[in-house]
Amino acid sequence: MTTSSSLTAPRYSRILGTGSYLPEQRLTNAELAAQLARDGVETSDEWIVERTGIRARHFAAPDQTSSDLALPAARAALQAAGVAAEEIDLIIVATSTPDMVFPSTACLLQQKLGVAGCAAFDVQAVCSGFVYGLTVADAMIKSGAASKALVIGAETFSRILDFKDRTTCVLFGDGAGAVVLGASETPGILASQLHADGRHVDILCTPGTVSGGQVLGHPLLKMDGQAVFKLAVGVLEKVARAVLEKAGRTDADIDWLIPHQANIRIMQGTAKKLKLPLEKLVVTVDQHGNTSAASIPLALDVAVRSGQIKKGETVMLEGVGGGFTWGAVLLDL
């Protein structure tokens, strides 16, 4: 018999498992600098580390797509969650480097997982994509539209880099990170908030498009680094504080901060503004570079599997990217 209390019981979502995948090819700064030098582009390990904190990154093989990277990350998250692929009723892939114009990378991943029937779609918010995707999945689970969701960030940014522009080509890498989100009687995702400001589209973009079988416009990434830096630090602090207020928490409640892994100076600047010791900052940018929508779930999985982040701890995720987009999620693991 159904009681009135069971009908009104709140429904939440929690992360049940995490996973990630990095392509086999790993390039240190010195190795990348040597490759660039052959094309007359000068850079060095010291120059890159000083400005970004990046020491290495991974590049996908020529025949590897974003869905190929997403597949092992998804399988690892499913295994960690103890959930079969057939139990998933929602797949969201956050990516700015889809396998093709359409269908979505999520549908291609669904086929590779050997499942069918559940909703599957991509989210395009560049480096904020995973935060956007997680927020959408949380809302769908809370509403009862889904019970178990696979949320993935997967990128092959090496395909859209201009290797004659040392200010951008040294920053990015490829990879994928995933979580399984499930319905729960107790809160896991505590609060989230998303924003965008299209007035700043020009400071970080890849403005090419396909028309009549040809690429129109510029098909490679362009960035105004100083403009991005200025905007990023300010909006990340504001959105983090807004999410804390929404959740009824304070800075002191944050056990770990996982910001988008773009630049160590932006990451450390955000931590300081939130009055968090740098020991609470999860850092993988040194080994992964900027993997856009994959960076937050990659860092989360690394921290969980290494034992750095433990069950029951409170984690702030926050991202900022082209669009201009930004957002944050506060969660209890």
Question: 32 and 42 in contact (C-beta within 8 Å)?
Answer: no
226 backbone dihedrals φ, ψ, rounded to 5°:
-65, -40
Query: Is 292 found in the same domain as 215?
Result: yes
Residues 224 and 88 in one domain: no
In a domain, 2, yes or no: no
Regarding whether 29 and 103 lie in a shared domain, the answer is yes
| Integer Rg of the chain from CA | 19
Q: Are both 84 and 103 inside the same structural domain? A: yes
Q: Are residue 48 and residue 165 in the same domain, yes or no?
A: yes
| Cα 171 to Cα 181: distance, rounded to the nearest angstrom | 30
327 and 229, same structural domain?
Answer: yes
* Each residue's pLDDT tens digit, 160-203: 999 999 999 999 999 999 999 999 999 999 999 999 999 999 99
Query: What pLDDT, on a 0 to 100 scale, did the predictor assign at position 266?
Result: 94
Among the candidates 184, 204, 219, a domain finishes at 184
pLDDT > 90 in the chain, percent: 96
CA distance 96 to 132: 13
**CA 40 from chain center: how many Å?**
33
Note if 260 is an active site residue.
yes
Question: Looking at 29, 169, 263, 290, which residue is catalytic?
Answer: 290
Overall residue count recorded for the chain in this entry: 333
C-beta separation of 282 from 90 below 8 A: no
Domain assignment of residue 1, yes or no: no
pLDDT for position 2: 46
Residue 263: active-site member: no
CA distance 313 to 307: 12
Q: Tokens 């499913």 identify what position? A: 78
Mean pLDDT by 10 residues, the chain (333 residues): 57 98 98 96 96 97 98 99 98 98 98 98 98 98 98 98 96 99 97 98 96 94 95 95 98 97 95 96 98 98 98 97 98 97
Residue 290 falls in the annotated catalytic set:
yes
Per-residue pLDDT of 80-130, as tens digits, reads: 999 999 999 999 999 999 999 999 999 999 999 999 999 999 999 999 999
> Quick one: which H or E segment has residue 326?
strand 325-332
Q: Which of 127, 169, 205, 288 is an active site residue?
A: 127
Torsion angle, CA of 153/159/165/169, rounded to 10 degrees?
40
Q: Tell me the residue range of the domain where 259 lies.
A: 189-332
Same domain, 153 and 230: no
pLDDT at position 7: 55
**209 and 177 inside one domain:** no
User: Which helix (H) or strand (E) segment is 209 a member of?
Assistant: strand 209-211
179 and 206 together in one domain: no
Do 168 and 219 belong to one domain? no
- Note whether 122 and 180 are same-domain residues: yes
Q: Which of 29, 118, 260, 288 is catalytic?
A: 260
How many structural domains does the chain have?
Answer: 2
CATH number, residue 132: 3.40.47.10
Assigned domain for 6 exists: no
Residue 157 and residue 294 share a domain: no
